[in-house]
Amino acid sequence: ILVAAIDAVGIGVGAAILGVPLAIPLGVLVFLGSFIPVIGALISGAVAVLLALVALGPIQALIMIGIVLLVQQLESHILQPLIMGKAVSLHPLAVIFAVAGGSMIFGAAGALFAVPVLAVVNSVVRYLAARQWEDDPELRREEFLFPHEVERREKSKKREEKAQKVVAQAREAIRGEDDSEGTAPETSSAQATKTVSSSKDDT
C-alpha cells in the first residue's frame, strides 16, 4: 500500500504540475494499478502519457513519460526492495533479483510470487541450518545469518559490553567510596592508641 501510494502521489503531482487534466483520478488509477505486477504500472503510465499527449501535445507527453519512468524506477529499484525486504527479513538485493528473475522466467505471475517463495526458502534454510543434527554435538550447526544481520548482532554485543563496563566502573567507584569511609575511623583510632601508649611511657 505504501509503495502504491508513493507511485500515485509522484505521478499525480507530476501530471498536475504539467497541467494534465484529471490529475487526481489519474493518481487513483496509478494507485490501483500498482497492485497488479508489471502490467498495472504499464497501463496506468500509458494512460497518463496519452492524456498528456491529447490535452497538451507531444512535448508534455515526453515529459510525462520521463516522470512516469522516474517514479516507477525509484519504486521498483529502491522503495519496493527495502519495504518488502524488511517485511519478510530478506536483503533488498535478494528481493530485486527474485522479482527480476521471476518476471523473466514466469512473467507477471513470477514477479508476483517470487518474493513469497524466496521468503519460504529462506525460512526453511534457516531452520535447517539452526536445527538439523541438533542432538549430535559434533554435527551441530550455528544459526544461519546474512551479513547485515551479523553486523546488527555485533553492534548489539558491543553495546552490551559497553554497558557492562559502565556498570563495573560504577560499582568500583562505589566500593572505593565505601573503603575510604571505612578507613577513616580506623586511622583516628590508631592515632588514639598511639597517644595513649606514649602517655604511659612518659609516666
How confident is the prediction along the chain (203 residues), in pLDDT tens digits per residue?
777 888 888 888 988 998 888 888 888 888 888 887 668 878 888 898 999 998 888 998 999 999 988 888 887 777 777 776 666 667 777 777 887 788 788 877 777 777 778 888 877 777 676 665 555 555 455 555 566 676 788 888 888 888 888 888 888 888 877 666 555 444 444 455 554 455 445 54
Nearest to 69 by CA among 45, 50, 40: 45
Query: Would 119 be classed as within a structural domain?
Result: no
* Residue 146 is assigned to a structural domain of this protein: no
Residue 33 lies in a domain: yes
| Model confidence, pTM | 0.48
Angle formed by the axes of helices 2-18 and 58-74, nearest 10°? 160
Q: Residue 28's domain spans which residues? A: 1-88
Confirm whether 108 is domain-assigned: no
C-alpha torsion angle, residues 193, 198, 200, 201 (rounded to 10): 140
What's the total number of domains in the chain?
1
Report yes or no on 40 lying in a domain. yes
